Every structure is written in C-alpha cells, then in structure tokens.
Amino acid sequence: MAIPASQRPKPFLEPEYCKGCLRCIDACPKECITEGDAINAATGLVPVNLNLDNCNGCQLCVQACPEPYGLRPQAGPVATDAHGDFDLEDPKNLFGAKETGAPVAKAQPSEEIPLPLGQPMVLKGTYASALGALLAGCRHVFGYPITPSTEGAELMAKVLPKLDGAFVQAVSEVAAINMMYGCSGAGLPCMTFTSSPGFSLMLEGISYMIGAELPGVIVNVMRGGPGLGNIAPEQADLKLMTRGLGHGNTHAIVLAPATPQEMLDLSRKAFELSFKYRNPVIIAADGYLGQMTGVVKLPATMTKPGLPEWAVWGDREHRGNLICSIFLSEPDLEAHNVKLLAKYDAMKAEAMFDTYRTGDADVLLVACNTPARMAKGAVEDLRAQGIKAGLFRPITIWPFPIEGLKPLLPQVKRLVMVEASPGQLEDELRLALSHAGLACPPITPVQRYGGILPQQTEIVAAVLKGGAR
C-alpha cells in the first residue's frame, strides 16, 4: 500500500556531508534543491540548499546522492509539521543506536584426533606432503599443474571431494595463490603445490598474504632455471624463498625436507607454524624429493582445524574483521612493519637442523634437501678414508639455524657447501655467520646447476682435492 505523500519521509542533509556534486538537483522532480552559494567552513565545499515546501518524499534525491551520510530519508516518525521544517540533528538521534553491532569474535581452538595405528606407507614425496597436509586439517587446495609438483595436486583432486573439501585447478598460479588468500582469510588451512616458474608467479600473492598476516602453505618443488629451464631438480629458488618473497618487508619460514618422511612431517608442521605466526610457510623441496618414493610413517594424531578469531568467515561473529594489507598513513604502515619484524624475530625460535657424525668432525659438509643425502653418503666414504667428516643439515633455511652451527665451529677447519645452486645456501650461511658475529671458516663449494645434483663421488673428490675460498 502506497504511503501518502504527506507521510513519506523527507530528505535530510547535514551540510558538511554534502560535497556539492549537484546530482540531486536533476533527480528532484519538484525543484526543491538548488545549487548552494555559501562555502561550508568545515569542508571548503559548497553544499546544496534544500527547500522542502514542495517535497513529496519521493526519495529520488536520496538515490542520487553518492554519500552514505549525505542526503538521507528522515527515519522514525515523520515530523508533525507537514511543511517539513527540519532542524539539523545528530544522525544517531535520528536513527537510533544500530541494532546489530558486530560482536567480538573468539577463537575456536583446533582439535587433535588420535589416528588408528597404520603401517608404514611407501609414498612419493609429493604424496607424503599431501598426506601431511590432510593430517594437518587442510581440506582446501588450490593449484596449477606444473612438473615436477603436479602429483600433489592430482592426489588432492582425487581425495578432497570425498572428504567434502575442495581442490580447484586455478586459471594460473596467480589465481591459485589468491584463492589461498581468500580461503585463508576465512580462517581455514589451505595450500598449493608448485614448482619454480609457478612459484615466481605466486610471489605477488605471497607478499599480500604476509602483509595481511594470512597463513597458508606453499610447497615449491624446485626445478632447473632460470626461465623455463627444465624439470630436473635444482635448489636455485632458495634466494627467492629466503630473501625475495615479493615486494616489501617479507619473510616466511622456509622448511627444507630431505626425505619423503620429512615431506609429511614438515608439511604438517608447516600448517602449525603458519597459523601460529599468521604468516605463509614455504616448503622448499627439490625435484628429486617430489618424485622420490620412500618409507613414510604416520603420526599418532591428526588435526581438526578450529577457526581463528580474526577470520572473515561470513557470519555475525566475525563480521567486524578485515583482511587487508593497506596502511595508508605512513606511521600506521611503519607500525605494521615493526610488528612484522618482531614476528620475524620470534620465528627465529623455530630454527631446525640435523647433524650426522659431527661429534669430532673437522670437515663439515653443509647441505639441505636431496643433496644433503648425497652429502651423507659422502660423509661415510670420507670417514672410510680416515677423514673426520660430518654433515650439518639446515631444516629451516630461513631462519638459518645458526645456533646449531655455532658449537661446531671451533673444531671445524673447513666447510663444504654442497648445493644444486650457485651458492644460494652458502649466501644464507655467510649472512647468518656475519649477523652472529662469527668468523667464516674456509669454504669448499660443491655446486651443480641446471638440474644436476652434486653426486656423492664428486663431493668426496672435492673434499680430497682440498682447496677453499
């Protein structure tokens, strides 16, 4: 039933919220609104004048006004004065307190569920990583096929629909990482599998995730580069992962597994760390590790994720939340960066490493991922030849586990950096030593590139040949 014109709410305007665009003037069929002639002292703009004698409450001016607190219908009881003489009032008095203030959200904790005892599995690295993610409570995977990481996505595509989760093959890696931004912004654990060229494409999104403080796990099965390179294993993305996660002040914990078992264990751990710090975590694997099959034992429990208090879930409780990396004012952005830096500093407590026969080692091999296994074999060969060799294996590449290396240094005469990159791990080590104020022992590099991993025999040969820089 139409409301009689006399009872329809008439427009109301506080002049300081009028920007003087005049769009309401055309909209008014009764010519109630005219261009203003006085500059408003508060805004420096010229608000319109209202003369509502002829106003029939048609609301067309309100619909034309681009400002939410510009022209508004007067709510509540219509003024008794049928001619509509309005006094300016505080909008709160006019509209009353808002009925639905968003409440403050509370974190719903995650749950550890005991796993039935399973036999050891025989899994390839990417599958082991996928299983680790499933056991960490991840039910949302976004990806784009790229060798040699694709099997992880394939397994998820097969399994997740049966668990009422979601696997989406995105239009690109750019889209995939941004689906993660969304899913993670809703507070859920999510991940992607990719390989070097795809990882490059994800860097923009990773920077945004770090800026907006979003968790998420990115498995980068590194392949040969630069450019399209090849699909064989390399470790030449360590620089990107440790120092180049997109623009701005960014860091993320980088985990470097060396076995299919660690692909499971560290993938699972990655989700925990990622939510603990509200920051992405990168799994740095190499092409061999992605494809390598080995024995994988299952953990005792699996995780059912909760919902963090900061999630933009799309319900009443979380309505007040915002996921965002914009801080327009410089002091705000500086404060945000200080917060992030403090977080990066706290992440140093997560540094992890492994050692092999380092007790009396004076020749210390340093390697991660599959090359660490070649190095482990080389330690045995060197020991057989009477050389006191040992292996230091960083498991976190960032933060570099310098505290683990420190106690070994007094006895070490030489470091042997074994890597499938032109010294990217060595750079991390040198930086860590430098920041810790420690002298760098002579270094013998054993490097291969282009999809070739340093072999046990060439590591042994390099150590025997001697020479360091």
Residues 379-418 that bind other proteins (CB under 8 A): 379-380
Ordered DSSP codes for 217-281: EEEEEEBS-STT--SSB--TTHHHHHH-SSSSS---EEE---SHHHHHHHHHHHHHHHHHHTSEE
Q: Between 120 and 226, whose beta carbon lies closer to other proteins?
A: 120
Q: Which of 13, 48, 217, 292 binds other proteins (CB under 8 A)?
A: 292
In 3D space, the residue among 419, 405, 427 whose CA is nearest the CA of residue 354 turns out to be 405
b/e 430-442 (16+ beta carbons within 10 angstroms → b): bebbeeeeeeebe
Provide the minimum distance between the beta carbon of 298 and other proteins in the complex, in angstroms, as a whole number.
7
Q: Which stretch binds other proteins (CB under 8 A): 290-298, 414-422, 433-441, 442-450?
A: 290-298
10 lies in the site for other proteins, by CB under 8 A: no
Provide the minimum distance between the beta carbon of 468 and other proteins in the complex, in angstroms, as a whole number.
23
Q: Between 144 and 400, whose beta carbon lies closer to other proteins?
A: 144
Kindly compute the dihedral angle of the four CA atoms of residues 175, 176, 181, 182, in this order, to the nearest 10 degrees: 80
One-letter amino acid at 80 equals T
Q: Between 70 and 198, whose beta carbon lies closer to other proteins?
A: 70
Provide the minimum distance between the beta carbon of 255 and other proteins in the complex, in angstroms, as a whole number.
19
116 lies in the site for other proteins, by CB under 8 A: yes
Q: Which of 45, 157, 352, 431 binds other proteins (CB under 8 A)?
A: 45
Q: Which of 74, 149, 150, 178 binds other proteins (CB under 8 A)?
A: 178
Site string for other proteins, 318-347 (x = CB under 8 A): xx-xxxxxx-xx------------------
Of residues 199-218, those binding other proteins (CB under 8 A): 204-205, 208, 212
Q: Which of 78, 79, 157, 175 binds other proteins (CB under 8 A)?
A: 175
**What distance in Å separates the CA atoms of residue 74 and residue 60, rounded to the nearest whole number?**
14
163 lies in the site for other proteins, by CB under 8 A: yes
Adjacent-strand bridge partners of 296: 121
Provide the minimum distance between the beta carbon of 379 and other proteins in the complex, in angstroms, as a whole number.
8
Provide the minimum distance between the beta carbon of 2 and other proteins in the complex, in angstroms, as a whole number.
16
Q: Which of 31, 85, 93, 119 binds other proteins (CB under 8 A)?
A: 119
Give CA 361 to chain center in angstroms: 39
**What distance in Å separates the CA atoms of residue 102 and residue 66, rounded to the nearest whole number?**
25
Phi-psi region of 84 (alpha: psi -120 to 50; beta: other; left: phi over 0): left
Q: Which of 373, 388, 393, 414 binds other proteins (CB under 8 A)?
A: 373
Q: Which of 13, 52, 146, 180 binds other proteins (CB under 8 A)?
A: 180
Q: Between 174 and 409, whose beta carbon lies closer to other proteins?
A: 174
**Structural tokens at position 121:** 């599995």
Phi-psi region of 438 (alpha: psi -120 to 50; beta: other; left: phi over 0): beta
b/e 198-224 (16+ beta carbons within 10 angstroms → b): bbbbbbbbbbbbbbbbbbbbbbbbbbb
CA angle, residues 179, 181, 186, in degrees to nearest 5: 100
Provide the minimum distance between the beta carbon of 438 and other proteins in the complex, in angstroms, as a whole number.
29
297 lies in the site for other proteins, by CB under 8 A: no
